[in-house]
Amino acid sequence: MDCAGGAGSAHRPVIDVLVVGGGPAGAAAAWSLARSGRCPLIVERSASQTEPVCGQFLGPDAVHSLARMGLYPADLGAVPITRLMLAHRHARAAMDLPFTGWSLPRRTMDAALLDCAGAAGAQIRRGVSVRSADRDNDGWRIRLDDDTWVQARDLVVASGKHALRGFARRPGGSVGLKLHLRLSCPLDATVLLPGRGFYAGLQPGPDGLANLCAAFRSGPPGDVAGFIAKVAQASDLGAQLLDGAVSVQPRPTAIAGVPYGWMFGGRSQAFRIGDQFAVVPSFCGDGVAMALAGGLLLGEAAGSGPDAFHRTLRARLAKPMRWAAPAGALFAHTPGLVVRTAALIPPLARLLAAQARVVPA
Ligand SMILES: Cc1cc2nc3c(=O)[nH]c(=O)nc-3n(C[C@H](O)[C@H](O)[C@H](O)COP(=O)(O)OP(=O)(O)OC[C@H]3O[C@@H](n4cnc5c(N)ncnc54)[C@H](O)[C@@H]3O)c2cc1C
């Protein structure tokens, strides 16, 4: 396809595929669409790369998709993770992971993914938000927040954790918090720290910065001290690891309305991917792996139309959703039982960690 330009007017240029959002899903989609001969335009609302709320843990399924795009965590400075610890009150469990995971700040990964999409031929517009997208004849009439309009033949909704008018997800949900910290003691494992009404993950990252990330069912603490104290109070291990920790941010990054366990089940004339298609409970499955898998599938399957694409994606993501959803619920409601069971039967936790992965295409 010739990507030089569409037949629209100067007021409303026609583009082939508009991708709303340049996170992992949108970047992977634009990369795979460009490689399959389409002409995608990513519209990303942040003017420069940000650090979204995310535990920044990558399992082998995410690594597999990144490798398809020519990206390797070690080359991006990611820290390998081979051990998992869980703690609640006085109980704790420790085990080897059944694979090597990686800790990679999202700022680094998302920038690399967008570079990849650009190198494959996708256009990228940053610092502009899609305000609305409505059907118009055979395509889409899209309004941007700089009050310009574009016309697109196909629309990919990859706005992730952020709602786009007309593309509903289940309302309500958890609140995510994230903080980069300098710990006063070394950490060489991913540590899951569930507490009353929340669960948190703490893991080492590049440049000696640990990432503390948590999902709260309600009433999240609003400041750094409150966040650290809340997690520290829930377990002896958390208190030990967070003692003397210093935040490198003035306040935690936050995101509300995360509908864990939700998967899109309706019909749509737009392609939905990433967190706009399914939201896996954090720390039990990898949302990034699912976002990349959906984006990469689009290049192969967009031709069959949105409904067929969504059916294929639903089947691909069924396994991680099936395993992660009950695990997330157990974490949230019976954290002590989960940690004691993991301590007594480590293979159970290892089995869960392995099963909650997206099956490679
Ligand atoms: C607490 C928590 C911990 C997590 N931990 C992990 C983890 O350890 N590992 C893991 O794999 N996953 C984790 N996840 C899940 C992961 O963050 C998401 O699944 C993943 O980011 C989804 O990617 P995405 O591209 O769909 O959306 P996003 O990463 O949210 O990207 C969407 C992009 O769209 C842009 N955008 C939004 N609206 C518009 C608009 N109207 N116009 C233009 N641009 C727009 C945004 O700026 C953003 O860049 C976690 C999530 C939470 C809440």
E-strand stretches of the chain: 14-20, 40-44, 57-58, 79-88, 91-103, 123-126, 130-136, 139-144, 149-157, 174-182, 190-195, 198-203, 210-216, 246-247, 253-258, 271-272
What 8-state DSSP symbol labels residue 76?
G
Instruction: Please tell me the predicted confidence (pLDDT) of residue 7.
Output: 47
Q: Which two tokens stand for residue 219?
A: 């009433």
Measure Cα distances from 231 to 85, 217, 220, 242, 334 in Å. Answer: 15, 14, 11, 8, 16
CB atoms within 10 A of CB 300: 15
Pocket of ligand 1 (CB under 6 A): 20-26, 43-46, 52-57, 62, 129-130, 158-162, 164, 176, 213, 215, 255, 258, 274-275, 282, 286-289, 291
Taken in order 237, 241, 247, 248, the sign of the CA dihedral is negative
Backbone angles phi, psi at 342, to 5 degrees: -65, -35
Q: Which two tokens stand for residue 85?
A: 């610890």
Q: Among 53, 216, 288, name the best residue to mutate to test ligand 1's pocket (greatest count of ligand atoms within 8 A of Cβ).
A: 288
Give CA separation, 302 vs 36, 296, 313, in Å: 10, 10, 11
Determine the residue of 159, 198, 262, 298 to mutate for testing ligand 1's pocket, defined as the one with the most ligand atoms within 8 A of the Cβ atom: 159
Tokens standing for residue 81 = 């993770």
Best mutation site among 48, 53, 134, 161 for ligand 1, i.e. most ligand atoms within 8 A of its Cβ? 161
Residue pair 155/142 in contact (Cβ under 8 Å)? The answer is yes
Ligand 1 atom nearest 26 alpha carbon: 25
How many helices (DSSP H) and strands (DSSP E) are in the chain? Answer: 9, 16
Which residues have C-beta within 8 Å of that of residue 207, sequence separation ≥ 6?
A: none
pLDDT, one tens digit for every residue, the chain (361 residues): 767 655 455 556 789 999 999 999 999 999 999 999 999 999 999 999 999 999 999 999 999 999 999 999 999 999 999 999 999 999 999 999 989 999 999 999 999 999 999 999 999 999 999 999 999 988 999 999 999 999 999 999 999 999 999 898 988 789 999 999 999 999 999 999 999 889 899 999 999 999 999 999 888 998 999 999 999 999 999 999 999 999 999 999 999 999 999 999 999 999 999 999 999 988 778 899 999 999 999 999 989 999 999 999 999 999 889 888 888 888 878 889 889 988 888 888 787 777 767 766 6
Atom 17 of ligand 1, nearest CA residue:
54
What is the distance between the terminal CA atoms of the chain, rounded to a whole angstrom? 26
Residue nearest to atom 29 of ligand 1 (CA): 23
pLDDT for 4: 61
Q: How far is ligand 1, taken at its centre, from the CA of residue 25, in Å? A: 8
